[in-house]
Amino acid sequence: MNESPTAAVPPDCIALGVTSSIAAYKAADLTSQLVQAGIAVHVVMTPNATKLVHPQTFMTLSRHPVTVDLWQAPDWRPEHVSLAERIALLVVAPATANFLGKYAHGVADDALTTLALSHSGPVLVAPAMNPRMWRHPAVRENVRILRERGVAFVGPERGRVACGEETEAGRMASVESVRRAVEAHLAVARRAGLRGGRRLRVLVTAGPTREALDPVRYLSNRSSGRMGYALAEVAAAAGHDVVLVSGPTGLAQPQSCRVTDVVTAEEMARAVEREFPSCDLLIMCAAVADFRPAAPAAGKVKKGAAGLTVEFERTRDILETVAGLRREGQTVVGFAAETEAVLENARGKLTRKRLDWIVANDVRRADVGFGGDCNQVTMVSRAGAEVSLPRLSKIETAAEILLAVTAAG
């Protein structure tokens, strides 16, 4: 289970198993999003799932035939064997209690469970069921067995399920969460070396911070959090224990890590200081405010006056503070968002903040960086290594960064 794919496996080909939870309709959107992301998706449905969503929907969205019946193989080779050899990842979304039970106990009585047992690469499941079923000791035990074998889970989440219960976990993770997890697992699968090392405790910060001017206004920056979230997702997909300290973003919380939400630079500083002593690797990707209003107004500032002067005070430099406290074996990585003399400024920060690596990006460029899906960065290490990456998706960039900093660490 979860071996690295061989070089012959096309990196962007997955099988998507769809089982008979009412959340099967979300799998149609997931298929569409994955195909748009350039991933070849082969859908395998259980017979019951076809009663909820017609296979034609998946065939049209995936542009590939949908497998339901084991006995209608288009090839001399059984479909479950030939498909298992072609895919880099098996995703099952939604995954019912019935599928988890059969998979945990080696039952292979339809196309999907047969494929699951024929596939030796990574597997990601997104369970969806009534919260009472998710809580049942039999399901808990099956989840434990599968986790122990290296199966990755995304969700389920709390929230409304079809039968109306809202307070407990049971609902399938959002399509955005599952898509991001799929992309992270594929990025890891493509770089077999990411899996190589020991399991690390990784602390990642992401997003902007907000500093209050008055009770209704704040100062912030254009960081979307996507780069930090990608780092957290990829590190988790590689099997590391990840803590994500996140400023306010509009992104769905990754299900694969422990998330601490913060708002201000001071809250982020406290969260990082609390988590840092037990981490092996800190990646400080957040765009932390350097200044905050020295005396935020207690009430809303009125526009009566012609102008407004606000006095600012410096926030603490989190990275510099914790890098100074680090013990033997801890790796500290910073980011440098620059608008000019990108590498020169980044090198200055690497030395001044006593970092192991700095990841520099030019935030003037409109096609990479803030807000978008892509980034183009150069990494510089204290030991003198310099790695310039091409323009890549943030998930791919995250995988390259992790590969470099964990190989060195």
Interface residue list for ligand CTP (CB under 6 A): 265, 284, 286, 288, 290, 315, 317-319, 334-337, 349
Phi-psi region of 151 (alpha: psi -120 to 50; beta: other; left: phi over 0): beta
Whichever of 85 and 290 has its CB closer to ligand CTP, that residue is 290
Whichever of 41 and 286 has its CB closer to ligand CTP, that residue is 286
Q: Is 163 a known active-site residue?
A: yes
* Residue 322 Cβ vs ligand CTP, minimum distance, rounded to whole Å: 8
CB neighbours of 336 closer than 8 A, spacing ≥ 6?
Answer: 342, 345, 346, 349, 358, 359, 360, 361
* Residue 228 Cβ vs ligand CTP, minimum distance, rounded to whole Å: 9
* Angle made by CA atoms 193, 281, 207, in degrees to the nearest 5: 105
* Residue 379 Cβ vs ligand CTP, minimum distance, rounded to whole Å: 13
* Residue 260 Cβ vs ligand CTP, minimum distance, rounded to whole Å: 15
Among 401, 270, 238, smallest CA distance to 333 is for: 401
CA distance 165 to 170: 9
Instruction: Take residue 147 and report the two structure tokens written for it.
Output: 């986790």
Instruction: State in Å, rounded, how far the first CA of the chain is from the last one.
Output: 26
Q: Of 163, 257, 279, 285, which is the active-site residue?
A: 163
* Residue 286 Cβ vs ligand CTP, minimum distance, rounded to whole Å: 5
Q: Are 399 and 234 in contact (CB under 8 A)?
A: yes
CA-based torsion, 362, 363, 368, 370: positive or negative: positive
Among 211, 209, 262, 252, smallest CA distance to 232 is for: 252
Whichever of 194 and 360 has its CB closer to ligand CTP, that residue is 360
Q: Known catalytic residues?
A: 163
